[in-house]
Amino acid sequence: MKKSVKWIIIAVIVIGLAVLGIYRFKPKANSDISAPGAPAGAPAAAQGAPGAALGRGGGPLLVRYTVIKTTELIDGINISGSLIPNEEVDLSFETSGKITDIFFEEGSSVRKGQVLAKINDAPLQAQLKKLEAQYQSTEDRLSRQKALYEKEAVSKEAYQDAEANFNKLQADIEEVKAKLEQTELKAPFDGIIGLRQVSVGAYASPNTTVATLTSVKKLKIEFAIPERYAGVLQNGAGLTFTVEGSDEVYNAKVYATNSKVDQGTRTFLVRAIYDNSDGKLVPGRYVSVSLNTRTFPDAIAVPSEAIVSEMGIDKVFLFKAGRAVPQEITKGLRTDAEVQVLSGLGVGDTVITSGTMQLRTGMAVELKN
């Protein structure tokens, strides 16, 4: 008997809990819903203006805003690049031979025309002496033939042969002198000469690199920009750059751009020049470049978070008479924080900049200072 009473009590408790749950989750009529602060049983529509959407809690939605005014927008890009020499060349002899002298110190500064190294020129020097020894006698023979020809004592052919021999001798001497010049390795421009790759006694040919000469008084900054800037960037445009491991900012100017866009990377190669007279920077270093490509002096812009894009249409919400009113816009330049508005807004418009995903047409809003 006690056992049956126990089960009856448990059944009554279960049924009671089930009925309570059904009642709590049963849908209620609009007339049963009251906004916070309104009298119990008051209709929802009566707690705001007719047809107005309200924020959470039934009151206006607090939003941040900005008042439109013209501003200067700069189309800037940050990109990586490299420092390269203004001039650089691998030095080699124009002819072949054994190196007899090296006249430079590795890592030293050299001047244009300075003799850096020399190969054996003894055979050429001997040949030059032989030709120069013939020069006086050949010149005297030509003078005698000329005097005789003027007196009609010799034929014209004899005079011309003497003249041809003399001219040939002059040409031979000039040829040997030119070959002697090729035995000397000279600096083609001022610069810093690097580590030498040969020693005295080594046999050198035109394919043998003796050392590398680098001009560092001016350095080039080489970098690639997206193709959309092709044709926009002009020579003379200023830029700033920094090098790895330093916060110092350096200034340079664009002096040349490539003739076409690279089809593989869809980028446009640009070079700028930097005055490195103090020698603080060396070629080959990685640089971070900041470049302003275009400037819009009287632009209208809004914070990027104020723009809502739906179905390919860009819009913002304006604050008008306490309501959120959508306004379609046309976008232009985008910076890190702002977007240029080409049409749809005017100076003095109040644009809502927060809570844009919650906003609906005609929603009551309150500006937050």
Domains of the chain and CATH, by start = 2-47 (no CATH), 56-74+298-367 (2.40.420.20), 78-86+215-294 (2.40.30.170), 91-204 (no CATH)
Q: Go through 297-336 and write b for each residue having 16 or more CB atoms within 10 A of its CB, e for each that does not.
A: eebbbbeeebbeeeeeebbbbbbeeebbbbeebebbbeee
Q: Measure the CA–CA gap between 89 and 116, rounded to whole angstroms.
A: 14
- At 154 the pLDDT is 80
Highest mean pLDDT among 6-20, 27-41, 97-111, 220-234: 97-111
Answering whether pTM is above 0.75, one says no
pLDDT, average across residues 9-34: 57
Rounded CA separation 293/232 (Å): 7
The pair of three-digit structure tokens given for residue 186, joined into one six-digit string: 């000279």
DSSP element (H, E) containing 252: strand 250-257
> What is the pLDDT averaged over residues 129-135?
92
d(CA 19, CA 24): 9
pLDDT (tens digit per residue) in 189-215: 999 999 999 999 999 999 999 999 999
pLDDT tens digits, one per residue of 297-311: 899 999 999 999 988
Pick from 172, 166, 165, 97: nearest CA to 130: 172
Interatomic CA distance for residues 115 and 100, integer angstroms: 13
* Three-state SS at 108: coil
pLDDT tens digits along 66-123? 999 999 888 888 899 999 999 999 999 999 999 999 999 999 999 999 999 999 999 9
Compute CA 40 distance to the chain's CA centroid, rounded to the nearest angstrom: 67
pLDDT for the residue numbered 56: 57
Query: What does the mean pLDDT of the chain come to?
Result: 86
In whole angstroms, give the CA distance from residue 280 to residue 217.
10
Using pLDDT thresholds of 50, 70 and 90, give the confidence band for residue 47.
very low
What tokens appear for 23 in the block?
């009642």
Q: What is the mean pLDDT of residues 334-347?
A: 90
The pairing of strands 238-243 and 286-303 is antiparallel
Instruction: From residue 43, give the alpha-carbon distance in Å to each of 35, 223, 316.
Output: 9, 67, 33
pLDDT for residue 203: 95
* Local confidence band at 55 (pLDDT 50, 70, 90 cut-offs): low
pLDDT classification of 228: cutoffs 50, 70, 90: confident
Confidence of residue 39 (pLDDT cuts 50, 70, 90): very low
Give the per-residue pLDDT at 142. 87
Worst-scoring range by mean pLDDT, 35-44, 77-86, 247-256, 356-365? 35-44
Q: So what's the pLDDT on residue 296? A: 86
Amino acid in the structure at residue 266? R
Q: How many helices (H) and strands (E) does the chain have?
A: 3, 21
Give me the helices (H) in 185-243, please.
Answer: none
pLDDT value of residue 38: 39
pLDDT computed for residue 334 by the predictor? 85
**Nearest-CA neighbor of 327 among 309, 304, 308, 344?**
344
Backbone angles phi, psi at 103, to 5 degrees: -110, 5
How far apart are alpha carbons 252 and 212 in whole angstroms? 26
pLDDT of residue 32: 39
Residues 6+ apart with CB under 8 A from 125: 180
- pLDDT for the residue numbered 36: 40
Structure tokens at 2: 């006690």
pLDDT at 335 exceeding the cut of 90: no
Tokens describing residue 81: 């690049």
